[in-house]
Structure 1
Amino acid sequence: MIYIENNNLDPHYNLALEEYAVKGLDVDEDILILWQNEPSVIIGRNQNTIEEINKNYIEEKDINVVRRLSGGGAVYHDLGNLNFSFVTKNFHSNVNNFKIFTQPVIDALAKLGVNAVFHGRNDIVVDGKKVSGNAQYFYKNKMLHHGTILFDSTLEDIVEVLNVGDEKIKSKGIKSIKSRVTNIAPHLEKQVPMDEFKEILLKFILDTDSPQEKEYKLNDKELKEIEELKNSRYDKWEWNFGESPEFEIQKTKRAEGGLLDIRFSVKNGKIKDLKIYGDFFGDKDVSSLEDQLIGKSYRKEDIEKTLENIEIEKYFYNINKEDILDCLFK
């Protein structure tokens, strides 16, 4: 495994770097990146940005809002949060296997006296409270796994910047965000600053006392391409927010694999302008599934027949055809 040192705090650049690492770098070895963002809300690929954020608070505090490539839910980053990214081969054993990538982080925390465990579909928890959320993105024969580590983050901002929908509150009995998250720092046997914590984690994951020997230095051409990707995608309002069209019908369902939020119009008995939102994970871009449903008759038997020829597991992890039908027609 090699690593890319990244001290940039701009989330637009950092997400461009991640994308370039998985799509543009032609290296055979796995890649590790540890990085931080200035205060930012990072939106999941399939989410409706406007409904996930507290717009007034974000504008007042001048907090960045940037969409990432991977699915899952919105998360808050600040300088008290450390992000880790693995770029590796898209082996079947790696796909949606969050535990295999979180285990090195859990082991490193154990070395520091923190009893962390993997929990749910994609979290690391300490004393029952979340300290890390994780997500994955797949591209050709490669995949990106990335996660957060709440080290000494401002928990009050986490509470204020995000909206928690009624469906999530009903399904999980959530009373407040603050009651279910915590920082790593108070649980350490010996207090260390973020820079030292980052160095400890880097050495542990790379299994070396000399990380510089495993560093991959980006050249001028690669740095230019990352900057171009930042400018063309991650700086754009169209990517980070995008227009949310008006819909006549909204259907939601909390399935094992996450929230489904399907919005569409019906004209002359046929589906139009369909959009699927949610915090689910999946391999394929859900837009191609949307295209296959648009124009179909809004009848359960017709949609069921359409879904028979679609590999739903490619779009959703732990969400099946019956979940989609139940969401559309309940």
Structure 2
Amino acid sequence: MTDTPVPESLWPGTVLRSELTLPTPSENLALDEAILHHVDQSPDAGAYLRLWQPSTYFVVLGRSNNVATEVDVDHCAAAGIPILRRASGGGTVLVGPGCLCYSLVLPLNPLLRTLGVSGVTSELMERTAKGLRSMNPEIEVRGTSDLVCGGLKFSGNAQRWLRNAFIHHGTLLHDFDLALLERCLRHPSREPDYRQARRHPDFVGNLNARLEDLKRCVSDAWCAIDGPIPPEIVGDVQRIVDTRSQHVDWNIAPPM
């Protein structure tokens, strides 16, 4: 965190919360992007927290990740696990049942711009961790944007900044099939110092928490109130999916 107190006006007073999960992996990634572009184009539209739960497994590459380096492509193909790319940075993740995904889309204000990406990430991660500590006081922020409990990572996060807004999204593992990680993902090409070259089974774990408690804690941390995602945002999802489907580097191994 920064050395000086963070003013309350750094963050929106309230955030609109939705649990909208769309049918396919590509639609869910596109919805995050659609919300981001909506807030970027209309900063007075407010801020959004989306909580969603994948019903099937799929791999998501960060914007600049190399698929052959980060993913066991042959295993994913044999298991029918799609490999897609998101618009934000960060590392490669496997998501699916037992993983709560959360997406924060916030308008940029002068205070956030002054802090910059690293400062905002630090403050944002600490605010989220503080909310989760009501379930387990041992939760801590490690690396750039990991959440760890008992030495095991249960949350990875990534961001993308546009001119007037940014998205911060991540995963919260609570009942995930951890054995799949080593089958689908190679050892990452980049890793935080605290990982110390640990293999996936020795580095990643589930947070001992009920799904509803996770949702509540994240929502409370961001003063989130229920509110629908505007239909014009949802309506933009198919356009983004269609655009991405034309590029093999985005839909690397799409669903059958």
Same fold (TM over 0.5): yes
> Quick check: 1:230 aligned with 2:248?
no
| Structure 1: distance between partners of 2:191 and 2:128 | 27
The residue that corresponds to 2:50 in the other structure is 33
The residue that corresponds to 2:150 in the other structure is 127
Structure 2 residue corresponding to 1:76, chosen from 85, 94, 107 = 94
- List runs of 5+ in structure 1 lacking aligned partners: 243-330
Work out whether residues 102 and 170 of structure 2, in 8 Å CA contact, stay in contact via their aligned partners in 1. Answer: yes
Q: Provide the identity percentage.
A: 24
Work out whether residues 12 and 235 of structure 1, in 8 Å CA contact, stay in contact via their aligned partners in 2. Answer: no
Structure 1 residue corresponding to 2:229, chosen from 209, 213, 217 = 217
The residue that corresponds to 2:12 in the other structure is none
Q: CA-to-partner distance for each residue in 1:239-275, whole Å, 9 max, x for gaps?
A: 2349xxxxxxxxxxxxxxxxxxxxxxxxxxxxxxxxx
Q: How many residues align?
A: 230
Structure 2 residue corresponding to 1:43, chosen from 61, 83, 86 = 61
| Structure 1: distance between partners of 2:185 and 2:59 | 8
> Quick check: 1:240 aligned with 2:256?
no
Cα RMSD between the aligned structures? 2.6
Larger Rg: 1
CA apart distance, 1:218: 2.3
Query: How high is the TM-score relative to the length of structure 1?
Result: 0.63
Name the structure, 1 or 2, with higher relative contact order (CA <8 Å, separation 6+).
2
Letter in 1 for 2:99: N
Structure 2 residue corresponding to 1:155, chosen from 170, 173, 178 = 178
Q: CA-to-partner distance for each residue in 1:187-207, whole Å, 9 max, x for gaps?
A: x4xxx3x2x235423541343
| Structure 1: distance between partners of 2:139 and 2:72 | 30
| Structure 1: distance between partners of 2:47 and 2:221 | 12
Does the C-alpha gap of structure 1 residues 171 and 153 become closer, same or farther in structure 2, counting only changes over 3 Å?
Answer: closer
The residue that corresponds to 1:62 in the other structure is 80
CA apart distance, 1:113: 3.0
Work out whether residues 71 and 186 of structure 2, in 8 Å CA contact, stay in contact via their aligned partners in 1. Answer: yes
Q: Write out aligned runs for 1:9-28 (5 A).
A: 9-25=23-39, 26-28=42-44
SS at match of 1:184: coil
Does the C-alpha gap of structure 1 residues 70 and 132 become closer, same or farther in structure 2, counting only changes over 3 Å?
Answer: same
| Structure 1: distance between partners of 2:133 and 2:193 | 34
Work out whether residues 57 and 94 of structure 2, in 8 Å CA contact, stay in contact via their aligned partners in 1. Answer: yes
CA apart distance, 1:62: 1.1
CA apart distance, 1:36: 2.1
Q: Write out aligned runs for 1:84-233 (5 A).
A: 84-90=102-108, 91-92=112-113, 93=115, 95-96=117-118, 97-164=120-187, 173-185=196-208, 188=209, 192=210, 194=211, 196-201=212-217, 203-207=219-223, 211-212=225-226, 215-219=227-231, 221-233=232-244
Work out whether residues 142 and 194 of structure 2, in 8 Å CA contact, stay in contact via their aligned partners in 1. Answer: no
Work out whether residues 58 and 84 of structure 2, in 8 Å CA contact, stay in contact via their aligned partners in 1. Answer: yes
CA apart distance, 1:129: 1.1
SS at match of 1:178: helix
Work out whether residues 31 and 86 of structure 1, in 8 Å CA contact, stay in contact via their aligned partners in 2. Answer: yes
